[in-house]
Amino acid sequence: MTAEAVAKAGEPELRSVKQAAYERFRHALFDGRLRPGQFVSQRDLVALLGLSIGALRELLPRLQFEGLLSVMPQRGIQITQIDLPMIRQAFQMRMAFEREAVLTAVRKLDDTALDQQESLHRNILEEVRQQPSSDVFERGQQIDDGFHNLLVAGTQNELLVQAYAVNAIRIRLIKLDRITLSAGVLPSAFGDHLAIIAAIRGRDPHAAIDAMDRHMMNARERALEL
């Protein structure tokens, strides 16, 4: 085997290691071990994420490029902050992505998938009405994420999917900080989803965009209220 062939054979493994490091960082954000605005050192991150210093230094440029942290000389590393400009920009990006996604869904998403999504949403709404609990809201969040991911994945546009995934991390941080699903929030958010589903089922692109825009604006306003 040539040196070039050996190098190519190792590329998937190298990508896998880098992706694993990225996922460790993402999970640390989502479970609260890393908090928006927090300052940490490289040593802190190495210990927290269980990475080598070399792996961390390879990861940092990607995280900085994606706006998930800032490397600040003499001060350390700052995790991205949740502030009003960040919220506005993240939701503006999300609206652009999901407009395209919902238009594609109007053309391509089959009724079986819509039936499944509607059933998932209505079942959770009924559970919240009868006996709200942390488990119900956790499953509701999974359904919420799954619905939007389904629409975006349906575009089959890898560039859009990748950009959406990065922005989704910012949106998730905003939700954790400000608009976690609750008995007061979930019915409204899921009601928006059901309106989107109905518009897609009716194959009405204008109604679908209007329903998605209302959903994005409602979520953004909930975040901006605090």
Predicted pLDDT at 170:
93
Predicted pLDDT at 14:
56
Domain(s) of CATH 1.20.120.530: residues in the chain:
84-224
Domain(s) of CATH 1.10.10.10: residues in the chain:
3-79
Nearest to 149 by CA among 126, 131, 115, 172: 172
Secondary structure element (H or E) that encloses residue 78, with its range? strand 76-79
User: What digits encode the pLDDT tens for the residues 26-70?
Assistant: 999 999 999 999 999 999 999 999 999 999 999 999 999 999 999
Q: What is the pTM of this model?
A: 0.84
Could you tell me where the DSSP H helices lie in the chain? 3-30, 42-49, 53-65, 84-108, 111-130, 134-153, 158-178, 186-201, 205-224
Give the position of tokens 């190495």: 46
* Burial class of residue 219, CB neighbours in 10 A (0-12, 13-18, 19+): buried
Say if residue 4's pLDDT is above 50.
no
Q: In this structure, what are the phi and psi dihedrals at residue 80, rounded to the nearest 5 degrees?
A: -50, 140
Q: In this structure, what are the phi and psi dihedrals at residue 199, rounded to the nearest 5 degrees?
A: -70, -40
Predicted pLDDT at 226:
57
Predicted pLDDT at 12:
59
Give the position of tokens 């976690």: 180
CB 51, CB 24: distance < 8 Å: yes
Class of domain 3-79: mainly alpha
What CATH homologous superfamily does 84-224 map to? GntR ligand-binding domain-like (1.20.120.530)
